[in-house]
C-alpha cells in the first residue's frame, strides 16, 4: 500500500506497528438524497484504503432521521456505489441495526451517572449549551438520580411522553470550551415510523451518539470523515472511552471536495429537484453520481478525478475543468468516433446517383474497435455552421464556389446556393471530385474538413446539449444564492442526423462525435433503433470562450 496521503500514511504505520492486522473502513451516507461528486471522494477514499490494505469497507446507512429518509435513496446509493466500481463487505448495514445495542449503552451510561433525562425545552437546552462567555448553564434536571433517570428513560421508550417533552443527554462537561462536550443530547422522542424498524421505536438516537458506537460495533479501524467533524471527535472519544465497546476506532478528518460552478449539498440539490429547476436527481446537469453517469461520465473518470485531487486537510475549491479533463482523457482513448450533424443543412451532390459505401476505422489508434460502413449518397447533410456565404476572415469551411473535404469521403465544391422566400439558405448544390477519396486533389490545396451524414441513410436522433448548471464560479456568492445563477442555456435539445452505424447504439454507449465532442446514448430514453444522445463534454475547454 502506497502512503500517498496522510491517511494512508497512518494506515501503513498502524499495520507496521501491529496496532491493526486488518483494516476496516466504512462509508456512512444518510439516505436523505442522492450521492454527489463529493461523496465520490469519500467513497474512493474509504473503499480505496480498504482495498489497498487488503481489508474491507462497510456500507452503513446512517438512518437516525426517519422522517427525511426514503427507500428510493437507499436503492440509489447502493446502485451508485456499485457503479463506481466498489463493493461493500457483507450485507448492507444500517445504524438502525444497532438501535437495541444503542439503547442498552444508553442505559449503561445512566447507570454510570453519565447520562440524564432533561425535561427542559429544546430552546432552553440549546441556550444553556451555547453561552459564549464562560461555562454553559447546567440544566436544573442534571442531577436527577440514576433511578429516576432509568425510569424516565424507560417511559420515553414506552411512548409515555410527547415529542419535545424530554430528551436524554450525556453528562460530560458543561464548562468545556467545546460545545459538543456540553452535555449533548443523545436521544430524542420522534413518534414517526422508520423505514427499517417500522413502529418499534418512538425514541431515536442522535448522530453523534450513534456514529461512534456503530463504528465500534463493526470494529472499524479508521473512521474517515470530513473536517466539520473535527470538533465532534472529543465526544466520539469520550463515548468510546466511557463505554465498554468492543473497539475504539480512530476518527481522522480530511477536507471535503468543493467544486466551482457546482453545489454539493444534498439539501440544495433536493431543492433543485423539488422546485423543478432540473428534471430529477439524475438530470445530466446535476453533480450527483446518477446525473454524472447519465451525462456520460465513466466510473474510471470519476475515480481518476478523485485520485488526482487527493486527500488533504486544506480546504480549497477544485476547478470543474479538472473533472471535464478526466472524462475527456478517458474517452479520448476508448470512445469510437462517429459523425453526427447537430444542425443539419441539406446538400445535394449532383454528380452522385448511387450509394457509395465508404469505410472508416472506428478509432484512429484502436484497430480493435473495428471499422464501420459510411454510405455516401446524393443527398447528405452538413452542419449549417460549416457553410457561409459571408465568411469571416480565416473561414476554412464551405463557401459559394469553394471546396471542402468531407471527412472520410470526397472533396466537394459548392456550385449553387438555394434559399427560401425569407432568404435563408435551405440547400446547397455541390459536386464531388471523385478522384479525391483518400488522396489530395490534383493541382490545388483544400484546407477545410467538415463532417456530414447521408440524408437518406442517416438516422434522425434527438441530441441533448448540456452545459454547466450555474453561470457563476461560486454559485452561492450572489445575492440570490445558487437559485439566482442557474444557467438557462445549460440544456438544449436539437434534432440531429447521425450516421447509420449509430442507429442501434445501446444505452450508455459512448462516442466522440467528430468535431463536436463526447456523447453518450441516454440511459433512460434510448430505445432500439431510436437513440437519444447526451453531450457529455466538448472536445476542449471552451467555457467563457467563443
Residues with a catalytic annotation lie at 30, 256, 266
Closer residue to ligand ATP (CB): 76 or 340: 76
Measured from the CB atom, the residue of 160 and 228 that comes closer to ligand ATP is 228
- CA–CA distances in Å: residue 437 to residues 413, 432, 447, 515: 14, 10, 15, 20
Tell me the Ramachandran region of residue 529: left when phi exceeds 0, alpha when psi lies from -120 to 50, beta otherwise: left
Task: Return d(Cα 465, Cα 542) in angstroms, integer.
Answer: 14
Would you give the DSSP letter of residue 86?
-
Q: How far is the CB of 267 from ligand ATP (least distance, A)?
A: 6
Q: Are 532 and 526 in contact (CB under 8 A)?
A: yes
CA-to-CA dists, residue 382 to 63, 71, 366, 386, 492, angstroms: 54, 48, 27, 7, 20
Least gap, CB of 225 to Mg ion (angstroms): 10
Out of 5, 10, 12, 30, point to the residue binding ligand ATP (CB under 6 A): 30
Distance CA 274, CA 489 (A): 20
CB of 312 to ligand ATP, least distance (A): 12
Q: Which stretch binds ligand ATP (CB under 6 A): 114-122, 161-169, 257-265, 368-376?
A: 257-265
Work out whether strand 403-406 and strand 411-419 pair parallel, antiparallel, or are unpaired: antiparallel
39/468 with CB nearer ligand ATP: 39
Q: How far is the CB of 263 from ligand ATP (least distance, A)?
A: 9
Smallest CA-to-CA distance from 293 within 162, 410, 285 is with 285
| Contacts with Mg ion, 14-53, as mask; x by CB under 5 A | ----------------x-----------------------
Cα→Cα distances 453→13, 233, 356, 456, 500, Å: 60, 61, 13, 9, 8
**Residue 289 beta carbon to ligand ATP: minimum distance, rounded to whole angstroms:** 12
Task: Please tell me whether residue 517 binds ligand ATP under the rule CB under 6 A.
Answer: no
Nearer Cβ to ligand ATP (176/255): 255
Residue 257 binding partner per list ligand ATP, Mg ion, none, with a CB distance cut-off of 5 to 8 Å that depends on partner kind = ligand ATP
- Total number of residues binding Mg ion (CB under 5 A)? 1
- Cell numbers at residue 380, please? 447528405
Task: Measure the CA–CA gap between 51 and 108, rounded to whole angstroms.
Answer: 36
Report if residue 41 touches ligand ATP, rule: CB under 6 A.
yes
Q: Which residue, among 295, 231, 229, 288, has the nearest Cα to 262 in the 3D structure? A: 288
- The distance of closest approach from Cβ of residue 35 to ligand ATP in the complex, given in angstroms and rounded to an integer, is 8
38 part of the interface to ligand ATP, by CB under 6 A: yes
Sign of the dihedral defined by the CA atoms of residues 433, 417, 345, 465, in that order: positive
Of residues 98 and 533, the one with the C-beta less far from ligand ATP = 98
58 forms part of the interface with ligand ATP (CB under 6 A): no
70 binds, among Mg ion, ligand ATP, none (CB under 5 to 8 A by kind): none
Instruction: Decide: 413 and 401 in contact? Cβ < 8 Å.
Output: yes
Q: Which does 210 bind (CB under 5 to 8 A by kind): Mg ion, ligand ATP, none?
A: none
Interface with ligand ATP (CB under 6 A), residue from 256, 277, 396, 515: 256
Say whether residue 344 binds ligand ATP (CB under 6 A): no
- The residue ranges that bind Mg ion (CB under 5 A) are 30
Amino acid at each position: 500500500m502506497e502512503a500517498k496521503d496522510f491517511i494512508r500514511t497512518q494506515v501503513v504505520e498502524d499495520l507496521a506497528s501491529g496496532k491493526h492486522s486488518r483494516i476496516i473502513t466504512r462509508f456512512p451516507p444518510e439516505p436523505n438524497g442522492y450521492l454527489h461528486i463529493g461523496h465520490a471522494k469519500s467513497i474512493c477514499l474509504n473503499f480505496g484504503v480498504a482495498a489497498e490494505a487488503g481489508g474491507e469497507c462497510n456500507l452503513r446507512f446512517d438512518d437516525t432521521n426517519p422522517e427525511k429518509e426514503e427507500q428510493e435513496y437507499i436503492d440509489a446509493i447502493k446502485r451508485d456505489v456499485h457503479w463506481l466500481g466498489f463493493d461493500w463487505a457483507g450485507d448492507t448495514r444500517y445504524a438502525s441495526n444497532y438501535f437495541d445495542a444503542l439503547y442498552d449503552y444508553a442505559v449503561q451510561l445512566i447507570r454510570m451517572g453519565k447520562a440524564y433525562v432533561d425535561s427542559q425545552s429544546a430552546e432552553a437546552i440549546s441556550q444553556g449549551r451555547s453561552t459564549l462567555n464562560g461555562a454553559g448553564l447546567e440544566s436544573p434536571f442534571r442531577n436527577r438520580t440514576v433511578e429516576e433517570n432509568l425510569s424516565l428513560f424507560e417511559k420515553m421508550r414506552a411512548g409515555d411522553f410527547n415529542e419535545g417533552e424530554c430528551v436524554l443527554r450525556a453528562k460530560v462537561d458543561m464548562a468545556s470550551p467545546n460545545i459538543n462536550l456540553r452535555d449533548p443530547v443523545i436521544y430524542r422522542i420522534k413518534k414517526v415510523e422508520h423505514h427499517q424498524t417500522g413502529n418499534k421505536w418512538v425514541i431515536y438516537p442522535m448522530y453523534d451518539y450513534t456514529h461512534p458506537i456503530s463504528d465500534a460495533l463493526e470494529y472499524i479501524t479508521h473512521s474517515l470523515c470530513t473536517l466539520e467533524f473535527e470538533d465532534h471527535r472529543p465526544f466520539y472519544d469520550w463515548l468510546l472511552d466511557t463505554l465498554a465497546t468492543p473497539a475504539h476506532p480512530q476518527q481522522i478528518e480530511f477536507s471535503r471536495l468543493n467544486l466551482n460552478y457546482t453545489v454539493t449539498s444534498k439539501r440544495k440539490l433536493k431543492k433543485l429537484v423539488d422546485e423543478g429547476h432540473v428534471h430529477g436527481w439524475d438530470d445530466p446537469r446535476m453533480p450527483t453520481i446518477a446525473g454524472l453517469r447519465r451525462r456520460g461520465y465513466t466510473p474510471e473518470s470519476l475515480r481518476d478525478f478523485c485520485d488526482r485531487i487527493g486527500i488533504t486537510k486544506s480546504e480549497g475549491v477544485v476547478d470543474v475543468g479538472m473533472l471535464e479533463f478526466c472524462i475527456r482523457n478517458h474517452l479520448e482513448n476508448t470512445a469510437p468516433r462517429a459523425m453526427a450533424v447537430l444542425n443539419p443543412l441539406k446538400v445535394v451532390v449532383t454528380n452522385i446517383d448511387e450509394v457509395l459505401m465508404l469505410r472508416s476505422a472506428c478509432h484512429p489508434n484502436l484497430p480493435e474497435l473495428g471499422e464501420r460502413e459510411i454510405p455516401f449518397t446524393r443527398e447528405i447533410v452538413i452542419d449549417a455552421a460549416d457553410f457561409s456565404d459571408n465568411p469571416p476572415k480565416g473561414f476554412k469551411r464551405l463557401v459559394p464556389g469553394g471546396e471542402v473535404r468531407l471527412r472520410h469521403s470526397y472533396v466537394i465544391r459548392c456550385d449553387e446556393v438555394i434559399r427560401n422566400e425569407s432568404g435563408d439558405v435551405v440547400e446547397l448544390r455541390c459536386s464531388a471530385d471523385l478522384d479525391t477519396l483518400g488522396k489530395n486533389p490534383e493541382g490545388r490545396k483544400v484546407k477545410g474538413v467538415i463532417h456530414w451524414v447521408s440524408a437518406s441513410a442517416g438516422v434522425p436522433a434527438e441530441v441533448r446539449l448540456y452545459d454547466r448548471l450555474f453561470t457563476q464560479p461560486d454559485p452561492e456568492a450572489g445575492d440570490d444564492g445558487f437559485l439566482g445563477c442557474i444557467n438557462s442555456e445549460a440544456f438544449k435539445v436539437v434534432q440531429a442526423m447521425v450516421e447509420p452505424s449509430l442507429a442501434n447504439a445501446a444505452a450508455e454507449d459512448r462516442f466522440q462525435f467528430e468535431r463536436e465532442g463526447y456523447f453518450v446514448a441516454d440511459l433512460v430514453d434510448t430505445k432500439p433503433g431510436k437513440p437519444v444522445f447526451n453531450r457529455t463534454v466538448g472536445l476542449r475547454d471552451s467555457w467563457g470562450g467563443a
